[in-house]
Amino acid sequence: MKQLNLLFFFLLTLAITAEGQRRYFDPVFTDVTVTTDVTYGVNATVIALQIAGQAIPQALKMDLYSPTGDNETARPLVIIMHSGNFLPPSVNGGCTGTIKDADNVEMATRLAKMGYVAAVADYRLGWNPIAGTQTERVYTLINAAYRGVQDSRTCARFFHKSAANGNPYGIDPNKIVLMGFGTGGYISFASATLDTITDTYIPKFLTPAGPMVIEPVNGNVDGTTVGITFPGYPGFPAGDTLNYPNHVGFSSSIAMAVNLGGALADTSFIDASDIPCLSFQTPTDPYAPCGTGIVNVPPPISLPVVEVSGSCDAQPIFDAVGVNSAMTNAGFDDPLSQHALTINGGIQSFYPFYVTDPLNSSPWAYASSAEPYGVAGSDCDVDAAGSAIYMDTIMTYFAPRACAVLGLYSDCKITTSVKGLSTIEVGQKATPNPTSENFMLQSDARFPMMSVQILDLSGRIIRDYPSVNANQFTVNRNGLSPGVYVARVAYKEGIVTQKVVLQ
């Protein structure tokens, strides 16, 4: 079961509820319409290079999620890129790597219920994580990420083109968000910052023979020019096409990038002309460093690849150059935003998830089964309930910031209808605490307890007493396992949460 930092949990359970349902903040729709396997482009993939002897065309697909029965015709769009280490499930371990990943489906469904249109899009895969030299690993990885940027921008152009031709998907092309999970976070980071191919002309992406990414070979960063190999280009026959232009003449622009994990290839990519970028990451992420460090091929191979910078180091730079001014100037003062400021260095665009398991790089992620793609022994995390707690926090933090960046409302703050109280304000005590038996909750005479819930640190309500209406209440242990729990007590004046330790 995923574990939460207790302070984060306190704020998460503070009952942040809007006064009335607001589109783009709350799930105002009950049902979602899903259109599967829509082709948004065709481009050259290298995934079958060893078999085919050349790059071959691949149809790029996406699943579209929209609110059922919605009459709005100019809705913001979120393009979601999945995780998977730029490799298919049959190679990467079997838990992620397609547009059917359960956490991506959950995110798209939530967004559609909030009134967005969401597109879970695939992208071209393929690199060599077990290459014999670090140079080759870096070369194949930077080219994979570059193709991902081209594909994300091809997807954006598909929607710009569709909006100019009858707008069948009912989107506002000026309000497109690119969201990446894990490996997709590398794509969203790079798509937010990579202006020209020359941005990659830095020492770690150069070889004695020249740049690792070459525009005549790979196409431009938008993917709107042809890329063809020259004689002697390593790994490919002469004249092989590595990039096919799609939807040329339409804009590749997106308005905002969001990463859940992942990292930026180099912070030198960041400048004041970039789009706003919102980040979620675990500071202890062992695969994509939250600070600046070396990306390693995941165990059991564990080979070093290249130095990158994650959200912990990139976000302060975004903030310093003014890229995230729409979020910075919005004045968010809800409890979750206030808490985030105390743990992220005082910026409005980064939510770090502090987890107890240092190997848990994506606590929001889960799979539909232990072997969702039929890879024997994949043993995937299926804790949808635990992941939902993190998803709740992500959506609560994302919604007002997307509102501010996209201009969805004039006031994008979250208005809370339930006040968070301290134990001192109501005189609440839990005695004995710690305890090996039952414990009693008490409050001042002026503040009778209306209801009591006992929750574990995964967010599950394990005891629910809806009608207390007293200043003293005994909670019977009744077989509860030793550990840390939270008593959530409702008063007329607000909510108090208190830690209780059972020995």
pLDDT tens digits along 153-187: 999 999 999 999 999 999 999 999 999 999 999 99
Confidence band of 244 (pLDDT split at 50, 70, 90): very high
For 468: left if phi > 0, alpha if psi spans -120 to 50, otherwise beta; the answer is: alpha
Per-residue confidence (pLDDT) for residue 416, from 0 to 100: 60
Domain with CATH 2.60.40.3080 in the chain: 423-502
3-state DSSP call for residue 117? strand
Backbone phi and psi for residue 436, each to the nearest 5 degrees, phi listed first = -105, 0
- CATH code for 423-502? 2.60.40.3080
Residue 352: cis peptide before it, omega within 30 degrees of 0: no
The two three-digit tokens of residue 262, written as one number: 């992942």
Nearest partner of 334 among 433, 240, 411, 243, judged by Cα: 411
Measured torsion, CA atoms of residues 384, 389, 395, 396, in degrees rounded to the nearest 10: 170
This prediction has a pTM of 0.83
Please write the tens of the pLDDT for every residue from 49-86: 999 999 999 999 999 999 999 999 999 999 999 999 99
- Kindly state the average pLDDT of the residues 277-301: 92
**Among 309, 225, 263, residue whose Cα is nearest residue 214:** 225
Provide the pLDDT for residue 40. 98
Burial 296-312 (b: 16+ CB within 10 A, else e): bbeeeeeeebbebbbbb
- CA dihedral (461, 464, 468, 474) in degrees, to 10, reads -80
Peptide bond into 432 cis (omega under 30): yes
Q: Which residues pair with 264 in a beta bridge?
A: 309
Report d(CA 92, CA 457) in Å as an integer.
31
Residues 6+ apart with CB under 8 A from 320: none
Cis check: omega of the bond before 27, within 30 degrees of 0: no
Mean pLDDT of 232-260: 97
Q: Which of 349, 342, 282 is nearest to 314 (CA)?
A: 349
293: three-class secondary structure by DSSP: strand
Handedness of CA 350, 351, 355, 360 (dihedral sign): negative
DSSP H/E element including 184: helix 183-193
The mean pLDDT of 196-217, rounded to a whole number, is 97
pLDDT above 70 as % of the chain: 94
- Please name the residue that has the structure tokens 């063809």: 228
pLDDT of residue 458: 58
Identify the DSSP state of 377.
T
The CATH class, in words, for 30-406 is alpha beta
As annotated, the residues of the chain forming the CATH 3.40.50.1820 domain(s) are 30-406
Give the number of other Cβ atoms within 10 Å of residue 218's Cβ: 24
**pLDDT at residue 17, as a whole number:** 42
Q: What is the pLDDT of residue 492?
A: 84
Query: pLDDT tens-digit profile of 115-159?
Result: 999 999 999 999 999 999 999 999 999 999 999 999 999 999 999
SS (HEC) of 219-268? CCCCCCCCEECCCCCCCCCCCCEEECCCCCCCCCCCCEEEEECCCECCHH
Strand partners, 115: none
Q: Which helix (H) or strand (E) holds 135?
A: helix 134-164
Q: Would you state the structure tokens that stand for residue 327, as one six-digit string?
A: 């979020």
pLDDT tens per residue across span 337-364:
988 998 999 999 999 999 888 889 999 9
